[in-house]
């Protein structure tokens, strides 16, 4: 059977916290991490060139969820360091931005932008849970770096696919890869 019906009354069991309402901050954070993982899976499916980078990240998101639920797996700073190295690898290939960009471009890049925004929401949820309890700060740090990585990956995909970024400057926009590259 694929359902139990146990949560039909609006409550769920989390091993680390017992029975909680489904709108509890911890349950919200777990749901946001699950959504992030799903969007990362979508991005890996849409843009397979990034699959080898995104699959380990998906595993780490599941590790964070497992730890939040009460199953310690030794999630630590080494995971943040690995993300920082991956971020540097992609950032070294992308020219520096001089303006904000509007999320979009290639469908793979657009999906990475979506993943970045879901990641930011998950980060906010974890900040709330961390402030209310005794969670490790490394989870928030990890998601903060991940959102930066996803942004840079989106820029990288558009660059590799020859898709111009749409630059935003105040109340107007300008199409071009970089501020001074095209008019």
Higher pLDDT pick, 175 / 139: 139
All domains of the chain, ordered by start, with CATH? 12-97+104-163 (1.20.1200.10)
pLDDT given for residue 15 in this prediction? 76
Higher pLDDT pick, 174 / 148: 148
Residue 148 has pLDDT above 80, yes or no: yes
> How high does pLDDT run on average in the chain?
89
**pLDDT tens for each residue of 93-124:** 999 888 889 899 999 999 999 999 999 999 99
Instruction: Print the SS3 string covering the chain.
Output: CCCCCCCCCCEEEECCCEEEECCCHHHHHHHHHHHHHHHHHHHHHHCHHHHHHHHHHHHHHHHHHHHHCCCCCCCCHHHHHHHHHHHHHHHCCCCCCCCEEECCCCHHHHHHHHHHHHHHHHHHHHHHHHHHCCCCHHHHHHHHHHHHHHHHHHHHHHHHHCCCCEEEECCEEEECCCCCCCC
* Closest by CA position to 65, among listed 126, 155, 131, 153: 126
CA 127 from centre of chain:
14
pTM equals 0.88
Residue 179 has pLDDT above 50, yes or no: no
**pLDDT tens for each residue of 67-81:** 999 999 999 999 999
Mean pLDDT confidence for 157-161: 97
**pLDDT tens for each residue of 18-33:** 787 778 889 999 999 9
pLDDT given for residue 173 in this prediction? 55
């Amino acid at each position: 059977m694929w359902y139990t019906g146990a949560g039909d009354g609006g409550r769920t069991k989390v091993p680390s916290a017992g029975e909680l309402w489904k709108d509890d901050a911890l349950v919200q954070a777990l749901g946001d991490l699950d959504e992030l993982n799903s969007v990362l899976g979508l991005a890996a499916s849409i843009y397979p060139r990034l699959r080898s980078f995104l699959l380990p990240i998906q595993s780490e998101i599941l590790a964070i969820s497992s730890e939040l639920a009460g199953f310690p797996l030794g999630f630590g700073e080494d995971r943040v360091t690995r993300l920082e190295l991956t971020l540097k690898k992609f950032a070294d290939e992308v020219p520096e931005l001089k303006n904000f960009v509007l999320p979009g471009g290639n469908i793979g890049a657009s999906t990475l932008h979506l993943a970045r925004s879901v990641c930011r929401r998950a980060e906010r949820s974890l900040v709330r849970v961390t402030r209310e309890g005794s969670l490790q700060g490394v989870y928030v740090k990890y998601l903060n770096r991940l959102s930066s990585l996803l942004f840079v990956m989106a820029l990288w995909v558009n660059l590799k696919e020859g898709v111009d970024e749409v630059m935003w400057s105040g109340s107007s926009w300008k199409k071009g890869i970089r501020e001074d590259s095209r008019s």
